[in-house]
Amino acid sequence: MSIERRRTSSGAVRYGVRIKHQQRVVGYKTFDRKADAEAWEREQYRAIQFGEFTPPSQSDKTFAQVMDEFLRARVGQVVPHTWRTDRDNLANTPRTWATLPISAISESDVANHLTAELRTKAHSTVSRARTSLSALFQFAVRERMRLKNPVRAVPMPSGDQAAEVEDEVNAFTDDELSATLAAQTQLNPWMAEVTEFLSLTGLRWSELRATRVDHLQDVPYPALRVTRAQSDGYAEKGTKNRTSRRVPLTARAHEIARSRASGRAAKEYLFVSKTGKQLRGNLFRRYVRWANTAPGHTIHDLRHYAASHWLRSGIPVHQVAQWLGHRNASTTLRIYAHVLGEAQEVAALRHLDGLTPVRTESARPASGPTINPGTGSQSGLGISH
């Protein structure tokens, strides 16, 4: 008999249900009422018949328990940066989920969580969080903790944000970059050249750290081969799009690179500290007092400066995309659309300025404030400047 009646030490009656499949027990659960035990038994055997059975020992695991198992399983399967992103995204799920059985979290729960996140975060940030959540539930499906992945049934909400925060570019202006380089050169000329080189090549910080002396080429033209990347605190790996590229070097960029390569072994890092150690972002920022010499900007904004400068100089967008290491030009177009539209806007403004409207005395207003054409200030309003 699969349902057993027994008494607990306190004298209460409990009904235990053993679910058997292929002559072995695959599930066990106890109930206060016999009717509940019978209903659950029927449900489990129906699930076995249709291939939908999940062992109670698995499906009853809480979200927090599954998250721990998932993160342990991911070690070695993904790069450290991805693992850390998954950990942070999952830690940001609703606190109420932690004690819920993994099988109890519904599609509505997922949709509500994503919608709430979009109120304060960029669409792409929440989309990445959705990817982490989907990976966890797929792990739960594979481990027979639940039947379906609820995230797959929930499309990414559009959210209220009119602009994509992460796509906004905060590139240095020419004046800002000149001021930054002048200030950093006074503090630390060796490190100031790092800032200048990044602004000339558009390299990511991780790519600069991993560049070796033998990545520098002189023929048929001065260039730098970008093949590896290494973020601070992580192991070296391939570039972001897993392909290598060549970035041409202007005369000044080539001069900086050649001075760093002089007398160095081929496999040594090209850009190092004065003591010969690999660059680290926190120390670099400290050496050049980044917060004071480049207020309001990040190191990554130097990459944006390079891309914007290239596009304004007339370099074709597909060529800029190749130098930046984008998979295709559509990424470059999306990020730097405002730069590409500047030329058309300037031309349109010049056209409008050339269309001088015909003004006659009769067209002037009989009374009211007048505009001083030299200063643009209004008279007759009692406003002083």
Residue 381 domain-assigned (yes or no): no
Residues 200 and 288 in one domain: yes
Do 186 and 287 have their domain in common?
Answer: yes
SS3 15: strand
Residue 90 to residues 51, 72, 313: CA-CA distances in angstroms? Answer: 29, 13, 44
| Whether 255 and 224 share a structural domain | yes
| 83 lies in the same domain as 30 | no
Domain finish residue from 239, 264, 297: 297
Stretch (H or E) spanning 40: helix 34-49
d(CA 334, CA 230): 26
User: Does residue 69 lie within any of the structural domains?
Assistant: yes
Q: What is the CATH number for 285?
A: 1.10.443.10
Q: Are residues 47 and 77 in the same domain?
A: no
Residue 272 β-bridge partners: 278
**Residue finishing a domain among 252, 274, 297:** 297
| Same domain (yes/no): 183, 256 | yes
DSSP H helices in 75-228: 80-91, 107-117, 123-142, 174-187, 189-201, 205-210
Output the pLDDT for position 113: 93
Strands of the 223-226 sheet, one edge to the other: 216-217, 223-226, 245-248
Tell me the C-alpha distance between 137 and 126, whole Å: 17
The pTM assigned to this predicted structure is: 0.62
CATH code of the domain covering residue 106: 1.10.150.130
Residue by residue, pLDDT tens for the chain (385 residues) are: 578 888 888 888 888 877 776 667 767 778 888 888 888 777 777 766 666 556 666 667 899 999 999 999 999 888 888 899 999 999 999 999 999 888 888 899 999 999 999 888 888 889 999 999 999 999 988 887 887 899 998 998 886 544 343 446 889 999 999 999 999 999 999 999 999 999 999 999 999 999 999 999 999 999 999 999 998 888 888 888 888 999 999 999 999 999 999 999 999 999 999 999 999 999 999 999 999 999 999 999 999 999 999 999 999 999 999 999 998 898 898 889 888 888 778 878 888 888 866 665 655 555 555 545 444 444 443 444 3
Residue 224 placed within a domain: yes
Q: What is the distance of C-alpha 188 from the center of its chain?
A: 31
Asked if residue 313 belongs to a domain, the reply is: no
User: How far is CA 162 from its chain centroid?
Assistant: 18
Same domain for 187 and 206: yes
DSSP 373: T
Q: Is residue 220 located within the same domain as residue 257? A: yes
Q: Does 127 share its domain with 183?
A: no
Q: Is residue 379 part of a domain?
A: no
Determine, yes or no, domain membership for 383.
no
Residues with Cβ < 8 Å from 288, sequence gap 6 or more? 184, 187, 188, 191, 192, 195, 294
Structure-token pair, residue 89: 């995204």
Rounded Cα distance, 221 and 279, in Å: 27
Residues 286, 214 share a domain: yes
Residue 260 forms part of a structural domain: yes
User: Which of 297, 312, 332 is the last residue in one of the domains?
Assistant: 297
Torsion, CA 262, CA 264, CA 266, CA 268, rounded to 10: -130
Exposure of 71 in the CB half-sphere (CA atoms within 13 A): 16
Range of the domain at 284: 177-297
What is the domain count for the chain?
A: 3
Q: Concatenated DSSP letters for 290-340?
A: HHHHSTT--TTHHHHHHHHHHHHTT--HHHHHHHHT-SSHHHHHHHTHHHH
Q: Are residues 101 and 19 in the same domain?
A: no
Pairwise CA distance, residues 57 & 59, whole Å: 6
Beta-carbon neighbour count of residue 61 at 10 Å?
20
Query: In sequence order, which residues have a C-beta less than 8 Å from that of residue 297 and are 6 or more positions away?
Result: 170, 172, 176, 180
Domain identity same for 187 and 292: yes
What is the bridge-based pairing of β-strands 223-226 and 245-248?
A: antiparallel
**Is residue 259 one of the residues assigned to a domain?**
yes
